């Protein structure tokens, strides 16, 4: 059952694509009274100060880069600065939990991902937030392909040789991902399942995703 669930989550990663979205902490009464005026239009005073955007992954990674590009343009449109804060760890759940606990006033946003809002509820025990209850999506920001690369002297020259090498030397290969439930982790599980390769026992979370 667990294996089937993990495979389903890998498919939700859009078969090799990491999806990113901008998300706001959600509380219907508060949003209606503080961010929306009569008739469902935004109050003219919002935003009246800088907006904090939490990226639950390390600086320099895909989520961080996309968030900085998007918020730079949003800042110009909104006329307020948008401050990026990298709150990393546990596959994006630490930063997501911080945003879920923030006041639902529109001044704390999250650069969420498939890992933090699709995989985490299934894979993380005692998760401190509910993706559906505690957040409201603002917009889909990006999707990025997941590719396989290796150092120049790696024995395999193409994907078929790479799969053959893994089947014969899987215990010697180090497979890194961005955290349990992260899109890079799901992509690895999906690839292993489709290639008929057993998951590497040396698969460990890192600040970046790579295969050595």
Q: pLDDT per residue over 50-109, tens digit each?
A: 999 999 989 998 889 999 999 999 999 999 999 999 999 888 899 999 999 999 989 999
The answer to whether 106 and 46 have CB atoms below 8 angstroms apart is yes
Is residue 1 over pLDDT 80?
no
- Residues of the chain above pLDDT 90, percent: 33
The pLDDT value recorded for residue 203 is 58
Contacts of 11 (CB under 8 A, 6+ apart): 190
Alpha-carbon distances, residue 209 vs 137, 182, 184, 185 (angstroms): 26, 10, 7, 9
Report, as an integer, the average pLDDT of 183-198.
83
Q: How far, in Å, CA of 205 to CA of 47, rounded?
A: 37
Q: How far, in Å, CA of 182 to CA of 185, rounded?
A: 5
Bridge-partner residues for 2, per DSSP?
none
Mean pLDDT (the chain, rounded): 76
Is residue 38 over pLDDT 50?
no
pLDDT, tens digit (0-9, with 9 covering 90-100), for 162-190: 999 988 987 788 777 766 667 777 788 88
Candidate from 27-41, 108-122, 130-144 with smallest mean pLDDT: 27-41
The pLDDT value recorded for residue 137 is 87
Q: Could you tell me which residue, 131 or 198, shows the higher pLDDT? A: 131
CATH 3.40.190.150 assigned to domain 17-145? The reply is: yes
- Location of each CATH 3.40.190.150 domain in the chain: 17-145
What pTM was computed for the model? Answer: 0.68
């Amino acid at each position: 059952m667990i294996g089937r669930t993990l495979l389903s989550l890998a498919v939700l990663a859009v078969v090799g694509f990491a999806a990113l979205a901008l998300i706001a902490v959600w509380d219907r009464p508060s949003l209606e009274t503080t961010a929306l005026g009569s008739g469902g239009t935004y109050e003219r005073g919002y935003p009246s100060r800088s907006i904090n955007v939490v990226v639950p992954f390390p600086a320099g990674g895909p989520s961080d880069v996309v968030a900085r590009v998007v918020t730079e343009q949003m800042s110009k449109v909104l006329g307020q600065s948008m401050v990026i804060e990298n709150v990393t760890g546990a596959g994006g759940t630490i930063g997501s939990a911080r945003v879920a606990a923030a006041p639902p006033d529109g001044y704390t946003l999250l650069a969420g991902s498939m890992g933090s809002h699709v995989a985490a509820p299934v894979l993380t025990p005692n998760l401190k937030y509910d993706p559906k209850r505690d957040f409201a999506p603002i917009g889909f920001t990006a999707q990025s392909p997941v590719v396989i690369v290796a150092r120049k002297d790696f024995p395999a020259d193409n994907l078929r040789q790479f799969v053959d090498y893994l089947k014969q030397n899987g215990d010697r290969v180090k497979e890194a991902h961005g955290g349990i439930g992260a899109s890079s982790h799901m992509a690895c599980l999906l690839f292993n399942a489709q290639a008929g390769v057993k998951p590497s026992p040396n698969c460990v979370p890192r600040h970046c995703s790579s295969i050595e």
